[in-house]
Amino acid sequence: MEKEKNTRGLAKMEGAKRPQWGSKTLTAFLFLLPFLVLYTVFIIWPVIQGVYVSLHKWGLMGKIRFLGLSNYTRFLTDRHFWESLGHTTWFVLISVPLLVVVPVCLGILANRGLRMKKFLRIAYYVPSVLSVAVISRIARWMFDPYNGFLSFLFHDLGILAPGEEIMWFREIGLVWTVITLTTVWWTIGFSMMLVVSALQDIPEQLYEAADLDGAGKTRQLFRITLPLLKPVIYLILLLQIIASFKVFGQIQLITGGAPGTATRPLILYIYESAFRQNDLGYGTAMSYALFIILVVLSYIQLKFQQKKEG
């Protein structure tokens, strides 16, 4: 009897000590509710609405008629879609290597024990806080053939003869150079800070042990620093691939897709189709095509990263 009473007493004490999961779950849900409401209204619902729009002939004044999957089959035979996708892919191929390598190099430089390292971090990061309109205006001023900064500089240095100019915005190769350099200068700040943050997590004892073993700075870089930076490098690679496939603002403001349509990326073509040609349904369908491409590329890269880390 006494044993039974003790058992009941212990059970009551354990019950009193048990956390009230129901109330805690409710409290957590109430804290998350504002975010969930805003996320649903501004993210989830537009995605669902976009699918609905893509199935219709839809203009700026609203729904016109139901088309089913016609908008999705239409861009498969649209040469402008494939041309713009080709331009976007080309930009990804020429910009992403720079957008990965340059921040890593700058991050390592800004993390060294120099008196100017704080200044370097600020100087590298400042362009990323500027708007795309400001960045594009600076690029136009820098590369303008007759009144630009580089034009005056090259003439003063004797690189260009009097009356000679480099037509940055007329030759396709030079235009892509302008767009790529502008994008790299504008966007490397965030990636550089990721690298600096990752470098500060590397234990200093590893470098001290390497010094004792006689390993030089170059050997430490390739045997300690870069291997331990692999996770953040993969992250930067993924983010920059997605960002480069979504390139729009700087090209729209610097070249407008010129010369001709030689630099028109896919999102600019989507914008023109949706708003200039008043075909929101077709533009939305192409947007989902780009979304699927990004999902597939992200999945492939994540699988590749997991395989390498495994």
178 occurs within a structural domain: yes
Q: What is the b/e burial string over 149-179, where b = at least 16 CB atoms within 10 angstroms of the residue's CB?
A: ebbeebeeeeebeeeeebebbeeeeebbebb
Angle between the N-to-C axes of helices 280-309 and 45-54, in degrees from 0 to 180, rounded to the nearest 10: 120
What pTM did the predictor assign?
0.87
301 occurs within a structural domain: yes
Per residue in 223-274, pLDDT (tens digit) is 999 999 999 999 999 999 999 999 999 999 999 999 999 999 999 999 999 9
Neighbours of 186 (CB within 10 A): 21
Residue 2 has pLDDT above 70, yes or no: no
25 occurs within a structural domain: yes
Residue 53 has pLDDT above 90, yes or no: yes
156 occurs within a structural domain: yes
**What is the DSSP pairing of strand 62-66 with strand 56-59?**
antiparallel
H/E/C letters for each residue in 287-308?
HHHHHHHHHHHHHHHHHHHHHH
Domain total in the chain: 2
DSSP secondary structure letters along 274-285: IIIS--HHHHHH
Per residue in 121-164, pLDDT (tens digit) is 888 999 999 999 999 999 999 999 988 999 999 999 999 998 89
48 occurs within a structural domain: no
Beta strands in 9-142 (DSSP E): 56-59, 62-66
Indicate whether 128 and 26 sit together in one domain.
no
pLDDT for 180 equals 96
Residue 5 has pLDDT above 60, yes or no: no
Distance of CA 121 to the CA centre of its chain: 20
27 occurs within a structural domain: yes
Beta strands in the chain (DSSP E): 56-59, 62-66
For residue 10, what are the domain limits?
2-42
74 occurs within a structural domain: yes
